[in-house]
């Protein structure tokens, strides 16, 4: 959206193209995916202060914590949020604990 002469003018500033390479083997694609993920996490971990991760126990946060664990010399700090209700469908702490235990993270849980 660009404001020109007092009027809003919509202009596309990008064009998405996707040309899959079906000749590649699945194993090669998986290897490249993990290389890209590791590189992204490694570059985002450059910091003057300690870093941590919100750990839900789902696939996304578990993969990030797995990658973080490769680039540190101390336990990764992880944090999860739970709920007081015993039967809460949104309480992912058991899954987060499993990941935290697997990678020996410095895990903290907050119950709301």
Residue 94, domain member (yes or no): yes
Residue 42, domain member (yes or no): no
The confidence band for 1, taking pLDDT boundaries of 50, 70 and 90, is low
Q: How many CB atoms lie within 10 A of CB 8?
A: 8
pTM of the model: 0.75
Residue 86, domain member (yes or no): yes
Work out how many domains the chain is built from and give that number: 1
CA dist 83 and 112 (Å) reads 5
State the pLDDT at residue 105. 96
CA dist 4 and 2 (Å) reads 6
- pLDDT higher than 80, residue 4: no
93 CB-near residues (< 8 Å, 6+ apart): 57, 80, 81, 82, 109
Residue 29, domain member (yes or no): no
The domain in which residue 105 lies consists of: 50-112
Residue 11, domain member (yes or no): no
Residue 99, domain member (yes or no): yes
Residue 60, domain member (yes or no): yes
State the pLDDT at residue 43. 96
Residue 4, domain member (yes or no): no
């Amino acid at each position: 959206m660009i404001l020109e002469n007092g009027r809003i003018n919509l202009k596309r500033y990008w064009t998405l193209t996707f040309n899959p390479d079906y000749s590649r083997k699945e194993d090669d694609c998986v290897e490249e995916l993990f290389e890209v993920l590791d590189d992204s996490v490694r570059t985002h971990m450059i910091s003057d202060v300690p870093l941590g991760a919100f750990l839900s126990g789902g696939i996304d946060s578990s993969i990030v914590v797995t990658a973080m664990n490769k680039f540190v010399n101390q336990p990764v700090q992880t944090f999860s949020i739970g709920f007081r209700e015993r039967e809460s469908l949104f309480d992912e702490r058991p899954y987060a604990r499993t990941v935290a235990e697997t990678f020996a993270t410095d895990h903290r849980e907050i119950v709301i």
